[in-house]
Amino acid sequence: MAARPALGPLAMAAVTAVAMAVASPAGSGESSVYLSSWAVRVAAGPREAGGLAQRHGLLCLGQVIEGEPYYHFKHRGIRQKALSRHWGWNMRLTKEPKVLWFEQQTVKRRTKRSVSVVPTDPWFHKQWYMNNDINPDLNILSAWSKGYTGLGVVVAVLDDGVEKDHPDLSANYDPLASYDFNSNDPDPQPRYTPEDENRHGTRCAGEVAAAANNGICGAGVAYKARVGGVRMLDGLITDVVEAQALSLQPQHIHIYSASWGPWDDGRTVDGPGVLAAEAFYRGVTQGRGGLGSIFVWAAGNGGINYDNCNCDGYTNSIYTLTVGSATAGGHRPSYAEGCSAILTTTYSSRISSNMQIVTTDLHHGCTHTHTGTSASAPLAAGIIALALEANPALTWRDLQHLVIRTSRPADLQAEDWAVNGVGQKVSHYYGYGLLDAGLLVEMAKAWPGTRPQQKCSVNALHTPQNIGSELSVSADGSPCSKGTRHILSLEHVQVQLSLSYSRRGDLEITLTSPMGTTSTLVSLRPYDTSQEGYKDWTFMSTHFWDENPNGTWTLRLENKGDAYNTGLLTSFILHLHGTDEDMRSRRPPAAGTAECLRRDTQGACEECSSSSPYAHGRSCLSYCPPRHYSRPRRATHVCASCHPSCYTCQGPSANSCTSCPFNSTFQELTHSCVAPQGISPQEELQSDLLPVLICGCLILSAILCATYFCALKGGSCCPRAAKTV
């Protein structure tokens, strides 16, 4: 044991008491394991040490530290490990006058000093969607506990700029993933106005990659990813600007996060122009070395206008990964719009408190009021960055397969949840449900890839048909199940329509698959009074994913409005995408319960399997949640409670906090959390010191007693490993 600084006996006892309170109990009270190996101090030099070792039948394995008189002696004859000292050899070395000091070596219990998975950022306790406050959350802590933080992944936020010198963003800011297409220069710094209306991009960037453990604001989902800003929304937006933004540095940027599109006014039907469409196609075919750029898209804020994101050609593109929104209570926020193109969902607001999404804000600030569907997409972009770190070889299609498989219906509320032909629950508001980051990285790591994409189109209408109040048209999927390029498992299904109608918004359009799944392509849009109909508009649904396309598909058009509506369907082409492999069996590993190996009489888990080694109440986790620290217990670990004053901690005492909860501040010197009101820091310290002093006195008395008895018995019972001659 290292020498302690010169302290009085009482202070020293106090130090010991504190150290014992803080240290993990792993080493305490456990007997040592002795090796047939000694450290020996011999002043006379290496030759003398060698001779001495030989004289006692030991091997001299050389100097321990170059230039220092310590030598490593070893004996082959003695068994490698023992629970007691080797009395005979220790006696011989004791009697050897040239040995100034020796110590038989013991096995030292050492653990890697890993910082807790829970970040210490002062606002992390407000990040309810990822800090275990609600169940289920996005399960980010689980992904972090497996070591994924977005390292090596580059995300670009296509928005109104990014405050690149923000202290919580600057460390991860990537100028190569940034550009200003509004002013045509490389600097995406937002334009500052009195109303701060250009704060959106900075807020989205922080959700993805705000730095962690730096004492500023909260933590981004992928807090070691690099993030760039593409300034494009603060000016006139043209097809050229969109295409430039979507095709910026496709070999450097991995993920593009976008929260914009045509007006969400419930009456617009619009999509990418020629150049933007080309940028998407080139992105997925050539970006990321041919694996495909990842375009993460917000579903849209048109909920209050009864809008439908299938009337938005960006969200309903097969090349974008469209993200819906949910509140903390599992409800649909009023702004969120639904459609069959949504793949997955992340949280975006919390009704029960004013705490929304926590992220970086303009003027080097921090906010907890970021919300809207555009708060959801960056959270998904961050989670996908974690998946790309776990497996950088994933293609754009692999990621969509994985996101579908690792989204969970959980407790998300909607009337339209339905089970599709392969047994998966899917909704027009949430897609396949709440994205689970822990599950996603786990499944991404082991994903064997997907066979090439097949596309098969069926022209299902040969003569125009009157729509009237209702029209059904069938399409035969069997040609797509035959031949060398057949589809066994579907991915995206598109319906390309041309029709005229007296009031477009009154027409509800659904598609039913051969396996019996019905997906609504567009629902009633009361504000859409257009008489233009749909001109070669392409709807998309993700609800048939993994189904077999063979058989009869049925398109149904239904008038949900005025009885006098009339129209004519002139074209219906069914585009089926998928692969020739049966993908149904690719399911995520069952999570949770199987991991507890042993329970106590109350049902609390006492021992967990190695994949989720931390016992927390009835369950096993891959980390200890906030307000808990990991404490080794026998073969396993338990998540023990921190002192109530701490938010995160390294031990049970009030002086082992690593971050503090709401309304208290972290004291660097004492590692404690102090509430601004109530007792002052000094008083807190004194009231803390009192039990320490009492404890110290007791320990000191014990030591004095023991020394007294040792002296009586001639020192033989003193537990000392070393002897000084």
Question: Which residues does the annotation mark as catalytic?
Answer: 159, 200, 374
In single-letter form, the type of residue at position 43 comes to A
Tokens in use for 189? 């710094």
Other CB atoms closer than 10 Å to residue 305's CB: what's the count?
Answer: 20
Which conformational region is residue 67 in: left (phi greater than 0), alpha (psi within -120 to 50 degrees), or beta? left
Q: How far apart (Å, rounded) are the C-alpha atoms in residues 372 and 194? A: 22
Q: Is 76 exposed, middle or buried (0-12, 13-18, 19+ CB in 10 A)?
A: exposed
Whichever of 82 and 515 has its CB closer to ligand NAG, that residue is 515
Whichever of 24 and 457 has its CB closer to ligand NAG, that residue is 457
What's the min distance (Å) between Cβ of 482 and ligand NAG? Answer: 6
Whichever of 328 and 460 has its CB closer to ligand NAG, that residue is 460
What's the min distance (Å) between Cβ of 227 and ligand NAG? Answer: 47
What's the min distance (Å) between Cβ of 356 and ligand NAG? Answer: 49
What's the min distance (Å) between Cβ of 577 and ligand NAG? Answer: 17
Tokens in use for 511? 């598609």
Sorted by sequence, the CB contacts under 8 Å of residue 676 that are 6+ apart come out as 663, 664, 665
Q: How far apart (Å, rounded) are the C-alpha atoms in residues 654 and 677? A: 17
Sorted by sequence, the CB contacts under 8 Å of residue 251 that are 6+ apart come out as 287, 288, 289
Whichever of 365 and 479 has its CB closer to ligand NAG, that residue is 479
What's the min distance (Å) between Cβ of 478 and ligand NAG? Answer: 5
Q: How far apart (Å, rounded) are the C-alpha atoms in residues 139 and 348? A: 15
What's the min distance (Å) between Cβ of 544 and ligand NAG? Answer: 16
Which conformational region is residue 334 in: left (phi greater than 0), alpha (psi within -120 to 50 degrees), or beta? alpha
Whichever of 481 and 541 has its CB closer to ligand NAG, that residue is 481
Q: How far apart (Å, rounded) are the C-alpha atoms in residues 617 and 606? A: 9
Whichever of 513 and 659 has its CB closer to ligand NAG, that residue is 513
Whichever of 580 and 688 has its CB closer to ligand NAG, that residue is 580
Cβ proximity of 342 and 431 under 8 Å = yes
What's the min distance (Å) between Cβ of 550 and ligand NAG? Answer: 4
Whichever of 301 and 481 has its CB closer to ligand NAG, that residue is 481
Tokens in use for 53? 């070792």
Q: Which stretch binds ligand NAG (CB under 6 A): 105-113, 237-245, 476-484, 501-509?
A: 476-484
What's the min distance (Å) between Cβ of 500 and ligand NAG? Answer: 34
Residue from 145, 481, 519, 538 touching ligand NAG (CB under 6 A): that is: 481
Q: Which stretch binds ligand NAG (CB under 6 A): 59-67, 392-400, 460-468, 475-483?
A: 475-483
Touching ligand NAG, residues 325-364 (CB under 6 A): none
Does residue 550 bind ligand NAG (CB under 6 A)?
Answer: yes
Tokens in use for 627? 């307000």
**Number of residues binding to ligand NAG, judged by CB under 6 A:** 5
Q: How far apart (Å, rounded) are the C-alpha atoms in residues 654 and 613? A: 26
Q: From the centroid of its chain, how far is CA 606?
A: 27
Other CB atoms closer than 10 Å to residue 707's CB: what's the count?
Answer: 12
What's the min distance (Å) between Cβ of 421 and ligand NAG? Answer: 14
Q: Which stretch binds ligand NAG (CB under 6 A): 1-9, 404-412, 437-445, 478-486?
A: 478-486
> Tell me, what DSSP letter sits at residue 656?
-
Touching ligand NAG, residues 646-685 (CB under 6 A): none
Q: Which stretch binds ligand NAG (CB under 6 A): 417-425, 474-482, 533-541, 571-579?
A: 474-482
Q: Is the C-alpha dihedral spanning 135, 138, 139, 145 positive or negative?
A: negative
Q: Which stretch binds ligand NAG (CB under 6 A): 409-417, 420-428, 443-451, 477-485?
A: 477-485
* Ordered alpha helix ranges (H), 357-474: 373-390, 396-405, 437-445
Whichever of 170 and 478 has its CB closer to ligand NAG, that residue is 478
Q: How would you label 118-156 residue by residue, b for 16+ Cβ within 10 Å and e otherwise?
A: bbbbbbbbbbbbbbbbbeebbbbbbbbbbebbbeebbbb
What's the min distance (Å) between Cβ of 485 and ligand NAG? Answer: 13
Whichever of 54 and 552 has its CB closer to ligand NAG, that residue is 552
What's the min distance (Å) between Cβ of 115 and ligand NAG? Answer: 55
Q: What are the backbone dihedrals phi and psi of residue 698, each rounded to the nearest 5 degrees, phi first?
A: -60, -45
Largest alpha-carbon pair distance within the chain? 114
| Pick from 208, 135, 199, 148: nearest CA to 177 | 208
Other CB atoms closer than 10 Å to residue 474's CB: what's the count?
Answer: 15
Whichever of 331 and 584 has its CB closer to ligand NAG, that residue is 584
Distances, alpha carbon 647 to alpha carbons 120, 141, 223, 644, 658, in Å:
9, 15, 20, 8, 7
Which positions touch ligand NAG (CB under 6 A)?
478, 481-482, 550-551
